[in-house]
C-alpha cells in the first residue's frame, strides 16, 4: 500500500485499520518512509554494485581473452545500462530495490551473450596472422554470422517468460510488485542481444585492426584479392573462360539408355 506524506497520528490509524481488516496484530503492520535519503542510499548501493561488477568483468575478460575484448565488452554493457535506464525513466516507473536487481541481472546476461560471440571470434582468429585469406574484421563478421541464430533464439526464449510477467502479470493481473523487475529485464535482454552483435564485435574489430600485424594482414589480403581479380579479368578479355577451380580429372557421365 502506498500513500502520500502522512501526519504522525495518521500512520498509526492506518496501521490499526489494516490490522483490524486482515485480522493481525497492529505491530505486525510495518511501514517505511521513502524520501530523498532513501533514494540516495539506493542509488549509492546501485553504483557500488555496478562498479564492482565492471571491475570483475574487466579482469576476467583481460585474463581469459584479451584486454581489447574487455574494453569492447564494457562499452556494450554501459550501452545496455544507459538504454535500460533511459526507457525506464521515460515510462515513469518507480525505482525500487527490485529495479536495481534487474539492472544487475541484465549486465550479467549481456556479458554472457558477448562472451559467446567473442569466444567464436577468438576461435576464428587464433592463427589469422599466419596466412589467412580474411582480415580480422572479416573473420569477426564470420563469427557473428555463426552465432547469430543461436543468440536470437536464446534471447527469444528468455524474453517470452519475462514478457509474460510484464504484460500479463503486471499489466492484466495487476501484480504491481513485478513490473519494476520485469521491465528492467525485458529491456535489458533485448538490448543485450543487440549490443553483443552490433556494438561489442565492431568495436573489437576496430581496435584490433589498428595493430601493425592486422594492418599487414589486411594489406596482404587486399593485394591477393586484387591479383585474383586481375587474373580473372585477363582470362575473360581474350575470350577464353577462366580456369576451373575444381578437380581436373572428373569421371565421365554415362549416357542413360532408353
Please state the pTM of the whole predicted model: 0.71
What is the C-alpha to C-alpha distance for residues 255 and 36, in angstroms, rounded to an integer? 89
For the chain, which residues make up each domain, given as ranges? 35-225
Q: Which of 228, 205, 220 is nearest to 133 (CA)?
A: 220
**Distance in angstroms (rounded) separating the CA atoms of residues 217 and 205:** 13
Burial 187-207 (b: 16+ CB within 10 A, else e): bbbbbbbbbbbebbbebbbeb
Tens digit of pLDDT per residue, the chain (258 long)? 666 666 666 667 777 777 777 777 766 666 666 655 556 777 787 788 778 888 888 888 888 888 999 999 999 998 998 998 888 888 887 777 778 888 888 888 888 889 999 999 999 888 787 767 888 999 999 999 999 998 889 889 988 988 888 887 766 666 666 777 888 888 888 998 889 999 999 999 999 999 888 888 888 888 887 776 666 565 555 555 555 554 454 555 555 554
Q: Find cell 543468440 and name the residue.
A: 151
Distance CA 107, CA 49 (A): 11
Phi and psi at residue 5, to the nearest 5°? -70, 125
Spatial distance between the Cα atoms of 139 and 242, rounded to a whole number of angstroms: 28
Architecture of the domain delimited by 35-225: Up-down Bundle (1.20)
Q: In terms of DSSP H, where are the helices of the chain?
A: 8-22, 36-64, 67-91, 97-124, 128-131, 136-163, 176-195, 201-208, 212-237
**C-alpha distance across the termini of the chain, in Å:** 88
Residues 216, 170 contacting (CB under 8 angstroms):
no
| Per-residue pLDDT at 26 | 67
Which letter does DSSP use for residue 251 in this model?
Answer: P
pLDDT of 120 = 92
- Locate 155 and state its grid cell: 534471447
Amino acid at each position: 500500500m502506498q500513500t502520500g506524506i502522512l501526519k504522525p497520528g495518521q500512520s498509526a490509524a492506518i496501521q490499526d485499520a489494516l490490522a483490524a481488516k486482515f485480522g493481525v496484530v497492529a505491530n505486525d503492520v510495518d511501514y517505511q518512509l521513502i524520501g530523498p535519503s532513501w533514494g540516495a542510499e539506493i542509488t549509492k548501493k546501485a553504483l557500488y554494485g555496478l562498479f564492482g561488477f565492471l571491475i570483475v568483468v574487466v579482469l576476467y575478460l583481460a585474463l581469459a581473452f584479451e584486454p581489447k575484448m574487455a574494453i569492447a565488452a564494457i562499452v556494450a554493457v554501459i550501452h545496455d545500462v544507459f538504454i535500460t535506464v533511459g526507457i525506464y525513466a521515460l515510462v515513469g516507473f518507480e525505482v525500487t530495490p527490485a529495479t536495481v536487481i534487474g539492472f544487475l541481472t541484465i549486465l550479467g546476461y549481456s556479458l554472457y551473450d558477448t562472451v559467446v560471440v567473442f569466444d567464436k571470434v577468438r576461435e576464428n582468429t587464433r592463427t589469422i596472422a599466419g596466412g589467412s585469406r580474411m582480415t580480422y574484421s572479416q573473420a569477426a563478421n564470420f563469427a557473428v554470422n555463426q552465432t547469430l541464430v543461436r543468440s536470437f533464439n536464446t534471447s527469444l526464449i528468455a524474453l517470452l517468460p519475462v514478457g509474460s510477467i510484464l504484460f500479463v502479470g503486471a499489466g492484466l493481473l495487476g501484480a504491481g510488485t513485478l513490473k519494476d523487475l520485469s521491465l528492467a529485464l525485458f529491456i535489458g535482454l533485448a538490448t543485450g542481444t543487440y549490443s553483443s552483435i552490433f556494438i561489442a564485435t565492431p568495436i573489437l574489430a576496430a581496435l584490433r585492426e589498428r595493430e601493425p600485424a592486422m594492418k599487414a594482414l589486411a594489406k596482404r589480403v587486399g593485394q591477393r584479392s586484387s591479383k585474383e581479380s586481375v587474373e580473372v579479368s585477363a582470362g575473360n578479355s581474350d575470350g577464353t573462360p577462366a580456369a576451373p577451380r575444381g578437380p581436373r580429372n572428373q569421371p565421365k557421365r554415362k549416357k542413360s539408355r532408353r
